[in-house]
A and B are shown apart, each in its own frame.
Chain A
Amino acid sequence: MSDAEATGQPGEAPGLVREVVKSALRVENVDTPKNRVLAVAHTVWLHLHPSKVPRHAVRFSFTWGAGGIAFYLFLITVVTGVALMFVYRPTPEHAWLDMKRLDFDVPFGMVNRNMHRWAAHAMVIVVWVHLLRVFLTGSYKAPRQFNWVVGVGLLTLTMLLSFTGYLLPWDQLSMWAVTVGTNMAAAAPVVGHEGPFAAPGVTAANDARALLLGGPTVGGNALLRFYILHCVALPLALGLGCILHFWRVRRDGGISGPAAPKGGA
């Protein structure tokens, strides 16, 4: 690489860097309005990002940024959760001790666990705030009806993640909370043996509660099932739902804004 290539224009990357960036983004790394749009439209990393942001979309008072914050909190729980999985063993003899080990033995264990816990609590709150904002601004209306339905599904998954994660510390609080929660499943219509309109053949041994617990009470099987739901099934479903949700935001005309934009937004 010659000196001329290495230096180039001010603010322009050297030749090799430029080539690497171009091979990754499929666009020349020269900062022009056109290249910015192409870079966003042509790569998997940025294609969900709007290539042009309308002025109203950066007005925090309209969106409260709640959807983005909720997704950011989800990312925090994923990263910290994977770290926790390296220490935590979902068995009755280990679960509670491993939680204590995280708090008192493992370096950065306590900050990891608490980041996971607080991000999870905050995510539940922020997802509710996001739905409230979308409702109050009427953003669920056409053409965004379908994405409202997807959003309600994501809310449900968020609540289920919160519920399944609650059992994993394996203390009295989580144990009895899940006892109560799964007994509610036993009282569910059709699929619960204590519920109304119980389907024929539905008994305590094969109803929704038995499916969740893998036994008559909250025991080792329940812990394992909740762990797998919490760490594999539900995050996967939520991730896929997020992909659909964000893609629909773009396809439904970008982030919703005030009905009558003033001053040419």
Chain B
Amino acid sequence: MTDPRPPTLWTRRDVQTRSGWALLSASLFAGFGAFVRLLFPRVRSEPPTKVVLGRPEDFAVGEVSERFKKSHRLIVVREALGFYALRSVCTHLGCVPAWSAAQDKFKCPCHGSGFHRDGVNFEGPAPRPLERLALALDADGNLVADTAVVLRSERGEWARDDAFVRYPKEGRP
């Protein structure tokens, strides 16, 4: 079959057809880009990260308190010398470890990871200790945890001042 058209590179019709398709593709591409951008809103609404835990006296020495576990996924531990807060998020795959007073350990129900009361892992698949949250005493003397500041043992962050709150203050060595 012979092509009846003159041997030019693009005919007038080719140019128009291709410009049409180019315009259509460009607008579809731009529209798709706008759609992808729409999936990343500028504002996200999240709860405040500072959690007021109450007076230090509210916690008994040796207590592992789960009273903020459901609301904020954090555990408050009071030792003889002071406080620290643990994130109750298993470092294996993110389930919620439960405190077992009888066995004196945190036990994750998903895959059996175990953690000592200080958060250090000792059994099961968890690769590293539970994370601590920054803790401080505010001006009113309340314990305040910040869920946005995560302190990881293997990075040496547990040595920071906000990883452990001395209480009572005169107990400072």
Give the B-binding residues of A (Cβ under 8 A): 9-12, 30, 32, 79, 83, 86-87, 101, 105-109, 111-112
Q: Judging by beta carbons under 8 Å apart, are A106 and B41 in contact?
A: yes
Q: Judging by beta carbons under 8 Å apart, are B42 and A112 in contact?
A: no
When distances are taken between beta carbons in the complex, the residues of chain B under 8 Å from A108 are 34-35, 37-38
Residue of A whose beta carbon sits closest to that of B40? A107
CA distance A144 to B119 in the complex (A): 77
The number of inter-chain residue pairs (CB within 8 angstroms) is 46
Residue of A whose beta carbon sits closest to that of B8? A10
Closest CB of chain B to A88's CB: distance in Å? 11
Query: Quick one: which of A9, A10, A32, A83 contacts B38, CB cutoff 8 A?
Result: A83
Residue of A whose beta carbon sits closest to that of B35? A83
Q: Judging by beta carbons under 8 Å apart, are B3 and A112 in contact?
A: no
Query: Quick one: which of A9, A30, A101 contacts B41, CB cutoff 8 A?
Result: A101
Interface assignment of B139: CB less than 8 Å from any CB of chain A? no
Chain A residues touching B, majority SS: loop
Q: List 29 A-B contacts (CB under 8 A).
A: A9-B3, A10-B5, A10-B8, A10-B9, A11-B3, A11-B5, A11-B11, A11-B14, A12-B3, A79-B31, A86-B38, A87-B38, A87-B41, A101-B41, A101-B43, A105-B41, A105-B43, A106-B41, A106-B42, A107-B34, A107-B37, A107-B40, A107-B41, A107-B42, A108-B34, A109-B38, A109-B41, A112-B34, A112-B38
How many residues on B have C-beta within 8 angstroms of the other chain's C-beta atoms? 19
